[in-house]
Amino acid sequence: MQTTNIFERLKNGETISANDKEAHKMREASFATKKLLVQMNNSSNPDEIRNFLSQITNNEIDESVTVFTPLHINYGKHTKIGKNVFINFDCVFLDLGGITIEDNVMIAPKVSLLSEGHPTSIENRHSLIPKPIHIKKNAWIGANATILQGVTIGENAVVAAGTVVSNDVPDNTIVGGIPAKILKTI
């Protein structure tokens, strides 16, 4: 008998088969999140936005956090946001695998944080592989960057605009390109 629900299993990194008995719960949760997102994304009041984001993430969002909507999140409860975080317009967070954003992080417009992926084999492609994303203190993620599942962005690191990050970024480095390569140590 299964002792953990599908969301705990995702958080623990378990691959979820397309025919998992609880798979429907992921879509149901996404639609519940979407309902709150519609309200949040139609607000221009920073306090209201933080309040909705607190409901979506099931964690208190500090008053030092600024979010420019729209922000798109598929689940929310696996996202943790530190203090003094800035999230600019039109970002996408797929967080079933977990997203941690530490203090003083800046996220530019159109950034995608994708903690979920799929197997490449045709027969298993509809399965979901969750792996957490961790963005450490003082990191800056440039416009239109994509951070893929399982990646840690190091403390004080900078991800250049348009970069696709598929491997960990060391502390105190600037990365850029597709795929991301170290451009400079800072």
Diameter of the chain measured on Cα atoms: 51
Selecting among 72, 78, 118, 126, the annotated active-site residue is 118
Give residues with Cβ within 8 angstroms of 99, minimum separation 6.
78, 79, 80, 93, 113, 115, 132, 133, 135
Give residues with Cβ within 8 angstroms of 139, minimum separation 6.
102, 105, 106, 153, 154, 155, 156, 157, 158, 159
Nearest CA to 95 among 126, 64, 59?
Answer: 59
> 3-class DSSP state for residue 50?
helix
Judge whether 134 counts as a catalytic residue: no
Q: Which residues are identified as catalytic?
A: 118
